[in-house]
Structures are given as structure tokens and as C-alpha cells.
Amino acid sequence: MGGLLRIICLVVWIAFSAKAFASANVTGQWDFDHGDLRATVGTDLEYFGDTASQTTFPVVLIAQEGARVMSFGSNSIQQGFLMRHGANPNGGGYFVNQYTLIMDVMFPTSSTGHWRALFQTDPFNHDGNDAEFYVSDNSTKLEPNALGTEKHFNGQLFPDTWYRIAFVVDLTAPDGQQLTKYVNGVRVGTQFISGGIDGRYALGPTALLFTAGISSPGFTQPGYVNSIQFLDGCLDEESIGILGSAKARGIPPGNAAIQISDVRRDGSSVTLNWTGRNGPFRVQQAADINIPLWQYAGGLFTNFNATIPFNGSSAVYRVSEFQPDIRVGQLPGDAQVLPTKQIVQSAGQRIRLSGRPVDLALSPDGKTIYVKNMLNVVVVDVASLNIMQLLNYPQNNGASMHGIAVSKDGLHVYVTDAINSLHEAGVGTNGMLSWSRSISMIGADTDPCGVALSSDGSKAYVCVGKSNIVAVVDLASGTVTKQINVGIAPWDIVLSQDNSVAYVSDWGGRRPLPGDTTALSAGSQVVVDQRGIGSSGTVSIVNLISNSVVAEIPTGLHPSDIELSSDGSTLYVANANSDTVTVIDTIHKIVKEIIQVRPDSQLPFGSASDAVALSKDGKDIFVASGGNNAIAVVELPNAQHTNSLVQGFIPTDWYPGSVLATSNILFVASAKGLGSVPPVVNTQIGSMNIIPVPNKESLSKYTARVQENGRVPQILKAYATATAPKAPVPVPEKLGSPSVFKHVLYIIKENKTYDQILGDMSQGNGWPDFCLYPQNVSPNHHALAAQYVLLDNYYCNGVNSADGHSWSTEGYVTDHLERSFGGFTRGYPYGDDALTYSSSGFIWNNVLAHGLSFRNYGELYVSGPGGNTWLQIYAAYTNGTQLQFANYVNIDSLKPYCSTNYPGFTLTIPDVVRADKFIRELKVAQSNGFWPTFNIMGLGGDHTVANTPGYPIPTASVADNDLALGRIVEAVTKSSFGSNTVIFVIEDDPLSGWDHVDGHRSVCLVISPYTKRGQTISTFYNQTGVLHTMEQIMGIPPMNQMDAMGPLMFDCFTNVPDFTGYTALSNNIPLDTMNPGTTAAKMTAEERYWAKKSMKLDFSKPDAADDNTLNRILWHSVKGNVRYPREFAGAHGKGLKKLGLVITKTSKDDDDD
């Protein structure tokens, strides 16, 4: 064959018979052939612990044949081999209740006085938590050195002898048949195991090998393992018999893996043949097995063979099955993929709700739950979990961020809206609600939030957010009788038992003092840090006799939900912008503890501790962790520990924002629920989760589910730093390694889905019927996607510009934006509300903090066109005349880095003007030889101004944006900086369009000399992944959990550059094609109708216009009289009609209005 040809087969063993896999599939296998913990099938093992346990991979003899095995040492508490087994929940429960575990093992000595731990279902190996499967010691009665658990052991294992052992678990089986044990293919015993379905022996997503949570000597003695196999069901006795005894080649994985069966070289090519799996397949090659730098050879192969070029004298090959990346939407097992790439798979039961539920209240008799939803109060019967009523708010107002209460007698329900009112509803004998009156707060658009009722039912105390007061409402007269000044943006309020004291969470903190750095929020000056981000949180303690604040206690940022202990001595405060709970001693008025609430103590900010509930026995608090889609269980100080301890996390749906606790049930309002369904982001499905309080065994497994689904391992990995020098690559694998790029240009556009722009591209997963701006309208978008990479599995994390620009620039969205969809009464933020921003800051704060340079072209500020019309500005541009405009930057720390030449957001200035301004600055940079490392650009003309007279038609606006983008890309790629610059182009949100995959799917372009050419990439990417990739390129760490979990965009790049610059394409639609009514020409009745609708919309900020109206206008402006898809219309949860959604067997629906 000439040069040496070595073949690495991912899997080399013969398949089982079909019968063997009738009830179980191999979801994980580990064979140690490569001297490490990599998986043959599934996910690699991971060791955690310290160096006390030494793991080596010697070669030994098994049945007279050599085999590389793993030698494991002694493991104890919080040590072991973490196994991600890959099985989905089964057996009718939340966890894996039916499974098979097979091992080839050998212990060199007898188990004299020692038990040998094999398998631990507690994935955290907590202290005192015994393992599940053991080899008993030699003093065990009847059968020493045998397999089993719970004092039942069978099948003796002799020292220094290899055995193939198997455990078959069926927790649905009758008593006495739940566990069957095999040695060398022979059944040696069947026994009872305790706990039942979802009990002790059930599995979460992870488990541990060769360890126990027992520190006593001998429970995890050293041994050897050659092969481990996990199956997602119960393998039958005949199949296990076929497996026989331990062999050097390990356990046959059947068709779960691939066997390279034949390799032939013919001159300059190599042909490989293989068996196993279903395909399609990918082939990788490397030159050196000792330092394997794997490169893909060719594309996808649909048959069981491939012919690839052979270069050099030596090659190593491996074959794997191509697994398409997940997409946003439904997964097996009632799981849902979110645009963050997190997965929600909530515990307990679920009630689906249209819109975003933000608060809960329980009737005094415990029989009814009242859900404060965006546009209505949802009445739920606790016993049946049936929705009894949907009651819209008076005047069709929306809900405020927080605030619902039930009178002590259960006859009245009070709820605040997002405008100015406290609404009272009477409870009828049938349990139905009916509005009885609305009580206005003093002032207009005051943003009332939390509400508390006096014990005698005579008064209501209302947090009035924009007025920074607590309003005292006399319920007899229905009037505000007093206003008590508190801190900034009061959010929640609770009363002492004697009603003499009120505790108020001041979401915006204390009022500023002389010398404080301040910024504006909803009309009030608030305390901020040097970045311009709100930096204060407080609780006001109010004497209700004197109606004055007697103490102000500092808390974390965004203090939100508060809970008072039954004896009134302790107040618990959830701090959403700090991931903490502040514990206040109300007697001495001091902070006695700050509890950090994150699924891993090493995580950065991002958990969003936004709600808290106290257990009925007062021993625990339950904390809603919006960023982790979970409820934290925190054990309060007791005889065993003087500080509170986070015991674990319970999975919920997306962004839990309210939690209530009874003696054994948790009720959780998950604001974003299941996310959205295709084709628009407006079809948001919120939810209420009803979850039994778990025991410690279940809590550990729930916690593992929260960590795996919440991408905690990926977050922690994102902060790993390089330990050795590496050659520059486009996207380094670890922080500290160099990138080939020295400059980043980040362009943020406005409001388009993938299908809306690129749905006509046949090489991607598009839907032409939803394409409003095809190639004729946006030739540069199409050319850039075709010439570089077409990303057809990319998503915006958010849904409109209020949260879209936060996701785009902060990689995070605070509790304010997640809760405000009932009405943005504090304002629709676009760089002008200091309390809206994340405590982890903006991307430019991160850049500057690490000593890099930065320039801002138009992002997060607006411009005034100086009284000129769009046509006047466009005419001046075409004539080469310069017109004046003014930029208004509200973030003081951002001002020094903003271009004074480049306009901010205004739809009166064409994007080609912006392109011209940028290109002029770029030319100056070339002449100076300096261009900043990080450059951000707002290019939002594709927002359009609908059919407003005096502005271009929507397709002309998009054409303007397209031409500007093409010219900017051409200028950069052909500049002196082009060889080491990468350009990322995204939409801030997908609000104005439709998409057949999911409403979050959007447009992302990646342009550089190292970007792959002419390829469609279907890897899951999102906005936070773009941020993470840019940070990795610049060598700076992620800002928070969300951008840290964002997938790095490795698949977009190649190490072989193509320095050919891009040439912009001309527009096909004249940019000054104006809307009807711009001139004196007579309009048709239809044109006049849409013009009037357009003129009523607010285009002063991105997405300030009503999206339903705007989307209708855009649809008809392009599609003419083609039917508007009204069944998918409506603001984010507003006015949604029933969508015929698929309801899972554990879910109920709310029969939306």
C-alpha cells in the first residue's frame, strides 16, 4: 500500500441480533481503548474529585488477549466518574425507570471487610448517600463477594478474575422483580429494590461510577474495568446470555456504533467501508495518532462507504454518524428547546397559558390559584388543575410586573395593572370572579406593582413604581388617602402581623445623595456605577403609624419578591440582578445573611433570583431562578449548619417569576413557559408548573437535570484558559489562545426572520411563502449568505427591540424586560433606562475592561434629523451635500466612544448615508494605521416606516439597508484591515416576520477571509453565541451565564484563508420609491387606509410601533391581497386566538380568548 495506513475504528464489534435491541438501545458505552475517558457511544465520562484517586489505563490480559483497561482508585464523597447515560425518561415517570448496566470488571483482591461500590444514582455523591449497586464483602451471609444492594447479594466474584456483570432495573415491575443480576451471561438473582417509580434507583440525566457518598474505608476499593455499556431499557435474559463472559474486545455495542470493515488505497485515494448506525456519516482524518488534529474529509456520506484523497505517507481515519444539531421546538419526553439553547423539561404538571404570567395568589382555603397573566386573571381549581375562568382586565389593560392579593375572607381579589389602577374583583359562590371597581393611583401612568392588604380588609397598600411611593388605599371609599415616600421603583410589599410595619422592596434602590453618580429611569434619577448601570437596591421599613420610612436596608440589585417569616423576625428578599437572597433581621434592622443562589458556585452572574417563598414549616425557602429555569431549594440555618445551604434545584419551564409553597406542593408561574411556536415569536406560551416538593434523592436528580438542560457544564468550560501556546486560529478553543482576527465589526439590524429575508434560498431550510424580501429586494444579503455561509439554524434570543438590543449588547435580559409585556409603562427602553441594564454590563464594558479599543457607530442612541425630511436628506446625499443632525446618547460612559459623524437610530436618515459616514471614517483609520479592536454598528433601516407618507415603501427601505450593508462589507474586506477582520451581521430581533421553524429564527451573516465559502451551516447558533464568539476572538471572558453558554461558531470558519474581497451589488429597487401620499397624487381607498394606520404608529424607537398593525401593513405592502395569516398575529401574548397547540399528556390548556 505504500505509506503506512492506520485505521481508528470508533466501534469494531459485531451487532446484536434484532431481538437483543427490541426493548433497549445502547445510549452510552465506554471502552478505554484510547487510554482516556472518551465514549464509544454517547458522551465521554468525566472524572471529578481530587488527585487522591489515581486513574490509569494499563494493558492487561483478558481471556488470554491484550486489552487496554481503566484502573480506578478509591473514591469517596463528591468524587467519581460522571456518566451521562443518554437515556430519556421512561417507565411512566420523570426519570429513567427502566435501564440496563453492563460492565467488564476485575478486582485484584478479595473484598475482605470491604464493599465495592459500582454505581451511584446520586450524581453529586452527597455525604452519607450510599451507592446503589455493590460487590459485597466476604462476610456477607450466603454469598460473599456478590452483586446486589439492600442486603440482597448473589453471584460470587473471585479476586483477580474478569467478569461480565449486568444489572437490569425495571422499577415498574412487581415487588421482588425490580432488579435482576447477571454474571457472565447467567442470571444469579432477582430482588426487590425500594423507592418505586422515580425513586432512589431511578436516574436523572447523570449518574456516578465506582464511588459512594460514604467516607468509611473500603466502600470504593481500587479495581479495573474494560468496558461499560448502558441501555435505555431492560435487556432480555436471552440477549444477556449471548453476551457471555468478559472478553478483551469489550461488550458488543451492536448497531449503536460503527465498524470500519474494509480499507483500500488506490493511488491518491482511500476507500473506506463500514457498518453500523443509519447515517449520514462523516469521515475524519489525521496525520498522527499521537497528536490527532482531526480534519473532516469530504461532506456527508449517505452510504456505508467513502472515497477520499490520500495525502502523505501516514493517515488515521475515524467515522462517525452525523447528528443534526437541535432546533428550537419540541423534543421527546415533553422537553422544549429554547433559543438560548437551554432545554426546559419541567417537573410535575403544567398548565399552558397564552402570554406571560407574572404573579400568583392562593385563596385562604387553598382551593383556588389566581394567576396574574398579561391580559387576564386566570382562575385555576387546585384539586383538578382545571382552568375555571379567564377574566380580562378592565379597559383591556395589561398586567404590571407584579402584584395580586386575596382578601383574608377570600371574597375579593386585588390586582394592579400596567397603567394606573388597582382593580377589585368579587368572588362569587361558584368561585368565578367579576370586576367590581377600579381604583386609580394619583397621577398618570404610575406603574403600580405589589399590593398588600390589611388584616381587617380595610386598606390596601400599593407600590407605585414610577412615583416612588406606597399608596395607602381606603377600600371603603375606594380612594388613595396617603402617599408614603420610599426608595426608587417600589416593587413588593408585605405587612407585619399587627399591620404596624410595612416592608417594601425598592427595585431601584435608595434615592440619590449629593455626589452620587446618577442616570435617568422612568423620570427619576437613580444611583448608577461608572458604567451607567443601576447600582443600588434597598428595602424600606415603613412605620405605618407615622407613615414614614424608619430604616433603609441595603440589598442586592433589583430587590423584587419579599417574604416575611411567620414570627415576623426575618425578611427574605430576592435580588434578581444579583443572583442572591438578602436575609434581614427585622428586629435589629440589619442584614444577617446574603445567600448566593446559582446551580454551581463557580458560575458568573445570570441566575436571576426573582421570587421567593417560605416553606410552611419555615425550614426552607424556594427561590425562583429565572435564568436557570428552576426553583432553588435553600435549607435555612439549623442545628447542623449556621448558614443557609442551597440543597438543589427543581426544573421548571422558561423563566419562573413567581412561586407559592403549600405543605407539599409548589406552584410556579413561568413567565416565558415553553417559548414560542412557529411561525412568529408572538405565539408565546407561558405556563404554571405544579410540582410536588421533592425528597433529597429526587432533588439531586432534578438538580442534575437543571445543570444539564441549563448548559452549566458549557458555561464553566467557557472560562477555561489555555495552558500551552497555540498557533492563531479564527476562533480559539480556549481563552488566552490567539486568533487570526485583530478587528471585529458587529452590525445590528432590525426585526427580520430567516424566512422573511432568506426563505427563497433553496440551499437552506427556507419557506418561500413567508419570504417578503427575496433576492431581488436584498441582493447583498443573498450574495453574502451564498458566497460565505448560510446559517439556517440561527436564532434571536429575544422577541422585540426592548429585549433584543439587550440580548445583542449585554447577552442578557433583566427581570424588568421579561415581566413588562403587559405594558412598558416605565418606558420602552433603548439606551435610556439605567434600571433596565444587566449588572454584568455591556459588551463594550467587557472590551474596555480588558484594555482593548472600541468604537460605536449608532447603537443604543437616537438621532434628530435637524428638521429635514427623508427625501431632503436623500437628495443631499445624492448631491454630495452635508446636512446636520444631532445624536442623543443617554449612557454617559458610552459617549466618548460614539462616532459623532454616524447617525443613531432614526428612520428619517437612509442607511446609505450611514454607510457613507462609516466608510469615510474607515478611510481615515487606514491612513492613520489604527482601527479599534471592537466596532459595533446600528444599521436599522430595514425596520421600515410601513406605509407612512413621506417615507419609502417597505421594500425600498429594505433595499436601502441591503445596499448600505453591501457597501460597508466591501469597504472593510477590501481595506488594509480586511485580512484580519471578521464581520458579524445580525437582526436585533425577529419581530416583524414569520418563520416556519420558529419565530425566533433569524438572519446571521459571518464574513471574513477565514469564513468558509459557499456552505450551508445548520449548527445551532444564536445571539449570545455571536457575542461569545466575538469575546473568544478578542480573548476576553464572557460577561454572564447567558453569553457563556452561547455556542461558539467554530463551524463557520476554516484555517485556510481566502482574501478575496466582497463586491457590493447594486439595488434593483430605486431607494426613493415613496409611499403613496408623499406627493399630491390621489391615493386609493386601500392606500389611504394603510397610510392612516402607519401614521398612527410610533417609529421614534426601534419596535415602539404596535407590531401586529405593522406586520399587517408590511404583509399587504408586499403580498397585496394575499390572505394575511391572522391566526399567527397579535402582540406578544395580546389577543392571541386559540392556536390548536399540541398538548402533552401532562399539560392542560387555558382555552385562550
SS (H, E, C) 194-261: CCCCCCCCCECCEEEECCCCCCCCCCCCCEEEEEEEEECCCCCHHHHHHHCCCCCCCCCCHHHCCEEE
pLDDT of residue 3: 30
Report the CATH number of the 22-251 domain: 2.60.120.200
Least confident of 100-109, 263-272, 837-846, 910-919: 263-272
CB 625 within 8 A of CB 609: yes
Report whether pLDDT(7) > 50.
Answer: no
Torsion over CA: 76, 82, 85, 90 (sign): positive
With 70 as the cut, is the pLDDT of residue 331 above it? Answer: yes
Residue 11 pLDDT > 70: no
Give me the pLDDT at residue 285, please. 84
DSSP 516-574: --EEEETTEEEEB-TTS-B---EEEEEETTTTEEEEEEE-SSSEEEEEE-TTSSEEEEE
Tally of CB atoms within 10 A around 72: 23
Mean pLDDT for the stretch of residues 1120-1132? 61
Is 805 in contact with 988 (CB distance < 8 Å)?
yes
> Does residue 53 or residue 506 have the better pLDDT?
506
Count the Cβ atoms, other than its own, within 10 Å of residue 660.
Answer: 18
Residue 647 has pLDDT above 50, yes or no: yes
Q: Give yes or no for residue 81 having a pLDDT over 70.
A: yes
Instruction: Give me the percent of the chain exceeding a pLDDT of 70.
Output: 92
Give the tens place of pLDDT for each residue, 810-833: 999 999 999 999 999 898 889 999
Q: What is the DSSP code string of 15-30?
A: PPPGGGGSS--EEEEE
Amino acid (1-letter code) at residue 279: G
CA distance 814 to 625: 12
Which grid cell is 904?
Answer: 443613531
- Examine the pLDDT at 1108 and tell me if it is beyond 80: no
**What pLDDT shows up at residue 1087?**
82
Residue 1137 has pLDDT above 50, yes or no: no
pLDDT digits (tens, 9 = 90+) for 406-420: 999 999 999 999 999
Q: Where are the domains of the chain?
A: 22-251, 259-321, 343-710, 743-1052
pLDDT, greater one: 875 or 997: 875
- The residues, ordered by sequence, that sit 6+ positions from 233 with a Cβ below 8 Å of its Cβ are 23, 24, 25, 90, 98, 99, 100
What's the half-sphere exposure (Cβ side, CA atoms, 13 Å) at 359? Answer: 29
The x, y and z cell numbers of residue 1032, run together, are 473568544
Separation CA 903–CA 862 (nearest Å): 7
Question: Residue 1133's pLDDT band (boundaries 50, 70, 90)?
Answer: very low
Q: For residue 80, what pLDDT is reported? A: 87
% pLDDT > 90, the chain: 75
DSSP 807: H
Task: Answer whether residue 165 shows pLDDT above 70.
Answer: yes
Residue 539 to residue 610: CA distance in whole angstroms: 15
Q: Average pLDDT in the 25-34 region?
A: 94
Asked if residue 244 has pLDDT above 90, the reply is: yes
CB 121 within 8 A of CB 202: yes
- Decide if pLDDT at 529 tops 80: yes
Q: Is the peptide bond before 738 cis (omega within 30 degrees of 0)?
A: no
Q: What is the CATH number of domain 259-321?
A: 2.60.40.10
Under 8 Å between Cβ of 433 and 391: yes
Q: Judge contact between 571 and 535, C-beta under 8 A.
A: no
The pLDDT score that the predictor gives to residue 882 is 85
How many angstroms separate the CA atoms of 338 and 330, rounded?
9
The domain at 343-710 falls in which architecture?
7 Propeller (2.130)
Single-letter amino acid, residue 569: S
What confidence tens digit (pLDDT) does each residue in 956-980 have?
999 999 999 999 999 999 999 999 9
pLDDT at 836 over 90: yes
Mean pLDDT of the chain: 91
Residues 6+ apart with CB under 8 A from 212: 75, 76, 117, 120, 125, 129, 130, 131, 219, 220
Tell me which residue of 432, 436, 354, 369 sits closest to 399, measured CA to CA: 354
Residue 134, pLDDT > 90, answer no
Q: Which fold has domain 743-1052?
A: Alkaline Phosphatase, subunit A (3.40.720)
Mean pLDDT of 983-998: 92
Q: How far from 1018 is each of 627, 1052, 1115, CA to CA, in Å?
A: 26, 10, 28
Confidence (pLDDT) at 141: 61
Q: Where residue 748 falls among pLDDT bands split at 50, 70, 90?
A: very high
Q: Residue 1104's pLDDT band (boundaries 50, 70, 90)?
A: low
Same fold, 22-251 and 743-1052: no
pLDDT tens-digit series, residues 183-239: 999 999 999 999 999 999 999 999 999 987 666 554 567 899 999 999 999 999 999
pLDDT at 537 exceeding the cut of 90: yes
pLDDT category at 116 given cuts 50, 70, 90 is confident
Q: What pTM, to 2 d.p., does this model score?
A: 0.93
- Report whether pLDDT(294) > 90: no
Q: What is the mean pLDDT of residues 459-484?
A: 98
| Out of 790-804, 1025-1039, 1045-1059, 1104-1118, least confident range | 1104-1118
Rg (alpha carbons) of the chain, rounded to whole number: 31
Residue 386: name the closest of 429, 428, 431 by CA: 431
Pairwise CA distance, residues 38 & 43, whole Å: 7
Evaluate if residue 860 carries a pLDDT over 90: yes
Answer yes or no: is pLDDT of 249 > 70.
yes
Is the preceding omega at residue 339 within 30 degrees of 0, hence cis?
Answer: no
